Structure 1
Amino acid sequence: MGSAFSKKKSTKAQPSEVDKAILSLKTQKRKLTEYQKQVTVKIAAAQEQAQRCVREKNKTRAMFNLKQKKIFQVRLQEIDQYLMNVEETLCNIDTARQNNKVFETLKAGNEALKTIQSKVSISALQDLVADTEQAKEHEQQVNMILESESIDMSEVEGDLTLLEAEVLGESAAADDLPDLPDLPDVPKNLPVAKEEESKGTGEPVASRTAEEPMLA
């Protein structure tokens, strides 16, 4: 009888394949969001570097930084698209008929993460060194990436033109500021103030001081 009343050990429910897929999608979403932030920072840094180079009249280096910026912008568009797909799948995963879409998105997401990880590594090109040979090598790598992404170079050249116009406008605005008026020189010989009259007596302070006996 003891065995009849013995409690069966409760078995913990094992996660289904769909549950595992959902967890993986959430992990992908977190990683994609991190990449999104990183690439956004790189875009701003490349723009700032290009602007500085334009001010320094270094058009070649400014163009290089604008090329990098364009590459990062393409990466950001890819990340945004992948992230949107993952979020859409997570929102529409309530019914079983969405299972196929879960696995399809999961597979595509894994491939996307690998691609993004390899492409974002071009951050090593962020700084253009002074060495000519190494600079040429970096320039070739960036150009190869631009060609592989089918990026129109006229877009980059247009960005440079706009940036040059912006910097030129800043310079013109500074030149248009009115000159400060010349202030008069401070007079060297200031007039001596009249001796203060003592209150009640009407006598100058200097006279009263002279008349007072000195202490021994």
Structure 2
Amino acid sequence: MGGFFSKSKKPVSRITPQDKAVLELKQQRDKLKQYQKKIEINLERDRQLAKKLLAQDKRDKAKSLLKKKKYQEQLLLNADIQLEKIEQLTHDLEFTQIEIQVLDGLKTGNEALKKVHAILNIDEIEKILDETKEGIEKQREIDELISGQLTEEDNEAIEAELEDMLDVKDQLPEVPMDEIPETEKEDIPERPERVKAPKIALEA
């Protein structure tokens, strides 16, 4: 019953505070770019309108538009400076996240090395190497004993068996390598053709 009424565990969020900060900075960057685009459109519109006012001999109004245009250009410059700062801060935060991941990996690796060193210390490693060396030397001694057990008679018997193998090889007939000639066809007399008898017409 307790399983039905127990509170379910909330899933652990994998989004770190650094991720949220990077996301917010990118959103601000996008807003600044939209603001810059809007100012650039207004600047071009005011410039064209100032030309028309000058053509209509409305110099004062044209001058006011140019003052407004100058102010907007300053705003555009400030937006560029803010955008550059946001880009740099975003880059620094993302690089910091990479550094944290690298440090976590190094930490995990160091802990694994400590566990290995706790299991195998230098004395145990030297003991294993010595035992391996002793095993190799014992196997070498066994091989030498086995090879040294053959008597002179055994060696002579082996040499005699080798000679017998060579003699058997020499006594085997050689396989002819020449081509086998084809058998000549026998002259078979041709059968004479049968002479057909003439047909006799029967009288009615």
Specify which structure has the bigger relative contact order, considering alpha-carbon pairs within 8 angstroms and separated by 6 or more residues: 1
- Normalising by the smaller structure, the TM-score range is 0.3 to 0.5
Larger radius of gyration: 2
TM-score by length of 1: 0.39
